[in-house]
Structure 1
Amino acid sequence: MMEAFDPDGIEPAVFVVGERHPALDEPWRAYRRARLIHVSDGVLTVRTEASRWVVPPARALWLVANTLHCLHARRPVRFYSLYVERVASSAEPAADAVPSRFPPLPAQTGALIPDTLTQALLAAAADFPLDRPFDEPAHRLLQVLLDRVAILPGAPLGLNWPRDPRAQRIAEVLGENPAQSLILEELAAAAGVTARTAARLFARETGQTFGQWRQQLRLLAALEHLGAGESVTQVALGVGYSDVSSFIAVFREAFGETPARYFR
């Protein structure tokens, strides 16, 4: 486990740091640089003010600059963080930046799927010492890394969180217990709102119907539990499915793999 440090106090504009923790419960933070968090082992949960993300091994989350976020892991986790303050164009060279001719880096926060080359580059860049200027080979490696990040495909690992207090009350109840069997009418009544209003709030603030949102919440909770080593049957029942076959089918449709194969 590495000691806490402040990325905003590091001089290079682009750098990578590796971290390993037996468990993790970081406070809310925001940095001036964009941040790519790639998980190599374990499962990391990332919360922002607007969303919740679950990042399993071989997946990553891109956070745009100045995004307030916090990290959580129930079990041991290892990840690499790529910090990108800015990349100079040929018209504005800077000694500590990597010249760029690659497509723009992601403009929005979102989950990504790093390829094998990107993962290897992140691991290699994490060995660069941060207490002295990078040499030319390091700059070239970082250039290739940024080239790769710019074209990584997205992954459905996030969930928009409602901002309206009434919808938030419903979301928090389900977030604490995804297997909760109450229907929307019952959840809405407990939150002091009608079911019709609650449905409208979820559609407006999350971009999903309540049913779609609830299913995604359960799938993300399933990723956390599968990453902790629980069996497929345990996870299916634990997130609210009485039929394991139905859970497997929904999981495969969402993530392209069965739960048993996803973490291999």
Structure 2
Amino acid sequence: MQRSTDHEFYQRVPRPVGGMAKSYPTGYPGYLHSHPRAQLLYAESGTMKVTTERGAWIVPPHRAVWFPPEYPHQTAALSPLEMRTLYIRSDSCPRGTPHEPCVISVSPLLRELVRRVTAMPVEYDEDGRDGQVVRLLLQEIDWSPAYAVVMPVLRDERLLAVERVLLSDPGDTRTLEAWATVAAASPRTLARLFLKETGMSFRCWRDQFRALTALPYLAKGMQITNLASKFGYETAGAFAAMFKRVMGVTPSQYLGGSEPTS
């Protein structure tokens, strides 16, 4: 069998694991879909936005996303994306496999194993070296959820109007009263809508939005001082404090894969 970039192809490969390598351009929106097999999504480079009914994750290269079989999701590219995807047959999933989607850390060894599996023959020799690589990969996955923030999916058009403006200019510092004009709603109504749809105040939602929106820029190596200016903060320290408050770690710790400590 020849390799394919069609995800449907890998649902029927006669092996426990099928690995697909595929490139996506910046701005690729994705679409809502699911797979008969479980799925491990990993970006070799670039940043992806993964959306489910539970919310949206911004996923940098040192993280991966796990989906159980038949779980609807949408994957978008926030930058040029080199995606590496493993489709795992249900009867081959390791013990402890989560029944809900989650973000996990990618160790250096796991990264190399994913690279190998997406490059080996589709019908690899299960009893040979390639089969051993697949078995090692499945054992190497650490199912402990990595620290990740889920961004609530906004549905009310008035909130979406605010989100659209902040997407184009995340450093916009308007108050809730000023945003009410953009949303064509009273400040009180806008505050109530944010609390109803996100479970948080507008200010907390905006902090979370900024922290997650900053991840692609962090992954590209943008300096914290430049990030602070872009995202509406007067100093690098103020931006870093907001990021740690939202993500639980500093920007440098997050890029390095560090988890929060007590």
Report SS of the residue matched to 2:119: coil
Equivalent residue in structure 1 for 2:79, among 71, 74, 79: 74
Q: Indicate the residue corresponding to 2:211 in structure 1.
A: 219
Question: Structure 2 stretches of 5 or more lacking a match?
Answer: 257-262
Equivalent residue in structure 2 for 1:136, among 127, 137, 146: 127
Report SS of the residue matched to 1:146: helix
What is the count of residue pairs matched by the alignment?
248
**Aligned equivalents of 2:178, 2:114: Cα separation in 1:** 47
Work out whether 1:7 is the aligned partner of 2:2. no
- Mapping 1:141-220, distance limit 5 Å: 141-149=133-141, 151-220=143-212
Q: Indicate the residue corresponding to 1:91 in structure 2.
A: none
Report SS of the residue matched to 1:25: coil
**Aligned equivalents of 1:139, 1:87: Cα separation in 2:** 17
Equivalent residue in structure 2 for 1:232, among 207, 214, 224: 224
Root mean square deviation of aligned Cα: 3.0
Q: Indicate the residue corresponding to 1:45 in structure 2.
A: 49
Q: Indicate the residue corresponding to 2:259 in structure 1.
A: none
**Which residue identity is paired with 2:90?**
V
Report SS of the residue matched to 1:39: strand
**Aligned equivalents of 1:24, 1:129: Cα separation in 2:** 31
Query: After the TM superposition, which of the residue ranges 139-148 and 212-221 deviates more from structure 2?
Result: 139-148
Report SS of the residue matched to 2:44: strand
Q: Indicate the residue corresponding to 2:21 in structure 1.
A: 18
Q: Indicate the residue corresponding to 1:93 in structure 2.
A: none
Query: After the TM superposition, which of the residue ranges 52-61 and 146-155 deviates more from structure 2?
Result: 146-155
**Aligned equivalents of 1:165, 1:24: Cα separation in 2:** 21
Question: Structure 1 stretches of 5 or more lacking a match?
Answer: 89-97
Deviation at 1:55, TM superposition (A): 1.7
Q: Indicate the residue corresponding to 1:102 in structure 2.
A: 95
**Poorly superposed stretches of 4+, deviation over 6 Å:** none
Whether the 8 Å CA contact 2:46–2:79 is kept in 1: the answer is no
Whether the 8 Å CA contact 1:156–1:254 is kept in 2: the answer is no
TM-score by length of 1: 0.77
Equivalent residue in structure 2 for 1:36, among 36, 40, 44: 40
Distance change >3 Å, CA 229–CA 27, structure 1 → 2: same
Q: Indicate the residue corresponding to 2:260 in structure 1.
A: none
Deviation at 1:213, TM superposition (A): 1.6
Whether the 8 Å CA contact 1:26–1:71 is kept in 2: the answer is yes
Distance change >3 Å, CA 233–CA 150, structure 1 → 2: closer
Whether the 8 Å CA contact 1:43–1:55 is kept in 2: the answer is yes
Identity %: 27
Report SS of the residue matched to 1:102: coil
Whether the 8 Å CA contact 2:24–2:77 is kept in 1: the answer is no
Report SS of the residue matched to 2:64: strand
